[in-house]
Amino acid sequence: MQKGSSSKKIRPPQKQNRPGTESKMIPVPVSDYPEKPGCDKLKNKVALITGGDSGIGKAVAILFAKEGADIAIAYLSETSDALDTAEIIEEQYGRTCLLIKGDLSKEKHCGKVVKKTIQQFGHLDILVNNAAIHFENKDLRHLSTASLRKTFDTNIISFFWVTKAAIPYLKKGSCIINSSSVTAYRGSGSLIDYASTKGAIVSFTRSLSANLAKKNIRVNGVAPGPIWTPLIPSSFDSQKSAKHGSDVPLQRAGQPAEIAPCYLFLACEDSSYMTGQFLHPNGGEIING
């Protein structure tokens, strides 16, 4: 696979049914740089990653495994992507990967995800709240209540539910990392509900970090810009998907493997004096947030 820095060309127009499949994307997203060795920064840790089957979550899961962690992945329905991710984690990097299929917009399932993780591994050190959806809508009057609730339940309410279930198992030195978006800081005219959930994630992260500071559980987040993931061709029309990311200063969408190191930094001891903060891998957009 070529590195993301070589992907400035506009991609072919493409459209997929939701939630999208990585293997059908042209080009296939870059999830790993196998030539870069790990350094055991997460040796014997256990990480639970929601939405870890594809996109940014997949790249984070692979990088965490490369650094010595066992992985639990909660995903909706993209079994082929999930199995591919698990294969890389187990066969290339020798770590265990637990796949947990189901709808995180349901509170009961969020509790099951944490329970199954503990049953499999016995402990939990890192929680990455990452699962998200969006539906493009250029006129707020056309935003249905069902779609609005689905976006909020998946993108932010699930963060509350999964985190609430996980906190009893987190100990001193554990950490939580939440995925927000550049849209939390500058808004989005056609993704009003999505951007609103991402803004809520920023406030959730800052508030939770204050709540858990005395327990020495750090809470930080990452706010990516345009990244080439299945969310794009499954959400936008073919022409918009082709040009995704071309309007940022670096003039291209980022690759998931370029974003994953931000999560690794926040998960390991390198960031031991950081909590309540966000990193901004967004192709050069200045958001002052």
Cα–Cα distance for residue pair 145/147, rounded to 1 Å: 5
Q: Which residues pair with 126 in a beta bridge?
A: 47, 175
Q: Is 194 one of the annotated active-site residues of the chain?
A: yes
In angstroms, the CA 99 to CA 120 distance is 11
Radius of gyration of the chain (CA): 18
Tokens of 230: 């299945």
The active-site residue out of 33, 169, 194, 263 is 194
Which residues make Cβ contacts (< 8 Å) with residue 127, sequence separation at least 6? 47, 48, 162, 163, 166, 170, 174, 175, 176, 177
Q: Is 206 exposed, middle or buried (0-12, 13-18, 19+ CB in 10 A)?
A: middle
Residues 35-71, buried b or exposed e (16+ Cβ, 10 A)? eeebeebbeebbbbbbbbbbbbbbbbbbbbbbbbbbb
- What is the DSSP code (8-state) at residue 231? T
Rounded CA-CA distance 158/130 in Å is: 10
CA distances from 20 to 12, 77, 134, 232 (A): 16, 10, 12, 8
What is the longest distance spanned by two Cα atoms in the chain?
A: 51
* Count of beta carbons in the 10 Å neighbourhood of residue 172: 7
CA atoms of 116 and 111, how far apart (whole Å) = 9
Q: Which residues are catalytic?
A: 194
